[in-house]
């Protein structure tokens, strides 16, 4: 069976999520940020009874479609499977065992790939970077829809490439689990501890390079 690789089209309709809510793991920051950023995190405790609607799923893909890219090349490609579909099963089976512990409860799994060459075979040097931007916009839109996202690098890329018959030049980058987070799931360890852990980031001054350049004289 050949599964289609989707480049999301314009959504014809969109509904507001009935699952809107906030998380109890908001980021601690002294700088005012949008709640979609401070409240974003990557849960594993998905509600296995939740069904993602077609308008919601289209809104996520449409958000990704409008991401910026080098020369407007738009290299992102998607294989989308809602829970219960054959596409979902293909994506799920390719996950590493640790991810399969919890990802089966997600409402949808989305394989994200990057078209690393153009139509005539010329390499796209920024395809992976650009595709990451598309996923970031998908994640932000999911938050606006009251949904949660967990991105997974742990999967068998070769098996998945063969199973879904990715076109030549399209490399799989990440499998994204989308669904509604619930605190009532009893996850096994070490996943339960990770659900309770505080969100942390390196201090900003550890991320800034070349601060001394401002003090240099010509």
Question: Residues 135-162: pLDDT tens digits?
Answer: 999 999 999 999 999 999 999 999 999 9
Give CA–CA dist 6/134, Å, rounded.
13
Domain with 73 in it:
47-195
Query: Is 217 contained in some domain?
Result: no
Query: Is 83 contained in some domain?
Result: yes
Inter-residue contact 175 to 155 (CB < 8 Å)? yes
Which of 175, 17, 27 is CA-nearest to residue 106? 175
Query: Is 12 contained in some domain?
Result: no
Would you place residue 195 in the very low, low, confident or very high pLDDT band (cuts 50, 70, 90)? confident
Give CA–CA dist 143/27, Å, rounded.
14
Query: Is 138 contained in some domain?
Result: yes
174, pLDDT greater than 70: yes
Query: Is 86 contained in some domain?
Result: yes
Query: Is 79 contained in some domain?
Result: yes
Q: Residue 209 corresponds to which tokens in the numbers above?
A: 């390079």
CATH code for position 120: 3.40.109.10
Query: Is 145 contained in some domain?
Result: yes
Which of 202, 194, 166 is CA-nearest to residue 41? 194
54, pLDDT greater than 90: yes
3, pLDDT greater than 70: no
Cis before residue 107, ω within 30 degrees of 0?
no
Give CA–CA dist 57/36, Å, rounded.
18
Query: Is 141 contained in some domain?
Result: yes
What's the structural domain count of the chain?
A: 1
How many whole angstroms from its chain centre is CA 76? 12
């Amino acid at each position: 069976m050949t599964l289609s690789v989707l480049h999301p089209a314009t959504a014809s309709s969109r509904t507001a999520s009935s699952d809107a809510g906030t998380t109890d793991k908001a980021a601690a920051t002294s700088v005012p940020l949008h709640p979609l950023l401070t409240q974003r995190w990557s849960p594993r405790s998905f509600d296995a009874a939740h069904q993602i609607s077609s308008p919601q799923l289209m809104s996520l893909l449409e958000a990704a479609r409008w991401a910026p890219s080098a020369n407007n090349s738009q290299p992102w490609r998607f294989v989308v499977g809602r829970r219960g579909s054959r596409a979902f099963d293909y994506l799920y089976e390719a996950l590493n065992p640790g991810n399969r512990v919890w990802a089966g409860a997600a409402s949808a799994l989305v394989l994200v790939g990057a078209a690393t060459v153009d139509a005539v075979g010329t390499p796209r040097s920024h395809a992976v970077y650009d595709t990451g931007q598309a996923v970031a916009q998908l994640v932000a839109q999911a938050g606006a829809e009251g949904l949660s996202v967990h991105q997974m690098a742990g999967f068998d890329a070769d098996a998945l490439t063969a199973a879904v018959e990715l076109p030549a030049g399209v490399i799989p980058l990440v499998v994204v689990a989308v669904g509604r987070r619930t605190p009532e799931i009893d996850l096994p360890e070490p996943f339960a501890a990770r659900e309770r852990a505080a969100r942390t980031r390196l201090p900003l001054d550890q991320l800034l390079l070349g601060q001394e350049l401002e003090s240099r004289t010509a």
